[in-house]
């Protein structure tokens, strides 16, 4: 696939139901636009759980049960990540955001996958750094459900596979490291349904928040392959 360059900074958020393909699209976007890097709030939390950090221990019960972790917990984690990537000033804190004028350089482009998830998280992010494109990904729920049982992950890197759609080169092994693939603890059908309910409860106010700011764009498709070309075209017209 040919790579492309942005002419201005893209600060993108991916919003969508659990399993809609946020991680899949983020990976494809990074391949197409090497200037982009992505942060997945779910991957950050799962890394904390794996390495048993205090925050990871606290988050584990919420994740395993399919509930959202408390806003303050995720805000702290994301703020640290944004600072370490130098996307926000190191002076910023959750209570005193000290926003600086965001860099216009295309190299300051990023994708946030799974954060913000609530209108409250979105307002707090606004005071740290303004987002200029919110992508709402929509795929019918019955199609998404069929993917969940086939998902396998390489936990240390967050790489995602699917035995039907994106199978690893060797069964049960990560393509890059050869390490074993595992299931996510929240990927059984019952927990997925609860995650979906949480998404339904929180996404409307979140999307309305961004719609009011004029940065919301919606894309629909039955598969990631149907969505990707539309996404590429939209980014090209906004930032290319
Ligand atoms: P996460 O980690 O953000 P979810 O539930 O929002 O989790 P998830 O499950 O990671 O989202 P995704 O990234 O949208 O889904 O989807 P994906 O992994 O790319 O694709 C799903 C599967 O389908 C994969 O196997 C993929 O290969 C396959 N696939 C993709 N496209 C297709 C296709 O076209 N066809 C087929 N057949 N297959 C396809 O959040 C997890 C938990 O962390 C906490 C919460 O507890 C949450 O439940 N959390 C937060 N809590 C509060 N605030 C926040 N901001 C939080 N962020 C995370
Ligand atoms: Mg994901």
What's the pLDDT score for residue 90?
77
Return the ligand number nearest the Cα of 20: 1
pTM of the model: 0.95
Q: Ligand 1, residue 14: give the atom nearest the CA.
A: 14
162 Cα: distance to centroid of ligand 2 (angstroms) = 12
pLDDT at 104 over 90: no
Given a cut of 70, whether residue 151 has pLDDT beyond it is yes
How far away, in angstroms, is 3 Cα from ligand 2 center? 23
Residue nearest to atom 50 of ligand 1 (CA): 68
CA-based R_g, the chain, Å: 17
Q: Which residues surround ligand 2, an ion (CB under 5 A)?
A: 23
pLDDT of 179-227, one tens digit each?
A: 999 999 999 999 999 999 999 999 999 999 999 999 999 999 999 999 9
What gap in Å lies between CA 31 and CA 26, rounded to an integer? 9
């Amino acid at each position: 696939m040919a790579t492309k360059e942005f002419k201005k900074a893209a600060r993108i958020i991916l919003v969508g139901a659990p399993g809609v393909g946020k991680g899949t699209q983020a990976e494809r976007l990074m391949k197409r636009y090497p200037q982009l890097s992505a942060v997945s709030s779910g991957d950050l939390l799962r890394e904390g759980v794996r390495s048993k950090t205090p925050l990871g221990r606290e988050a584990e019960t919420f994740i395993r049960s399919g509930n959202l972790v408390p806003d303050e917990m995720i805000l702290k984690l994301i703020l640290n990540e944004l600072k370490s990537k130098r996307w926000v000033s190191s002076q910023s804190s959750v209570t005193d955001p000290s926003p600086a004028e965001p860099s216009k350089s295309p190299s300051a482009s990023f994708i946030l996958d799974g954060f913000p998830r609530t209108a409250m998280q979105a307002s707090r992010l606004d005071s740290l750094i303004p987002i200029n494109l919110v992508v709402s990904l929509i795929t019918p729920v019955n199609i998404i459900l069929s993917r969940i049982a086939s998902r396998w992950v390489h936990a240390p890197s967050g790489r995602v596979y699917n035995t039907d759609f994106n199978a690893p080169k060797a069964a049960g092994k990560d393509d890059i490291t050869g390490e074993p693939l595992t299931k996510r603890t929240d990927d059984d059908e019952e927990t997925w349904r609860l995650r979906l309910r949480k998404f339904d409860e929180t996404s409307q106010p979140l999307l309305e928040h961004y719609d009011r700011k004029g940065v919301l764009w919606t894309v629909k498709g039955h598969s990631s392959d149907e969505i990707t070309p539309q996404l590429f075209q939209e980014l090209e017209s906004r930032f290319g």
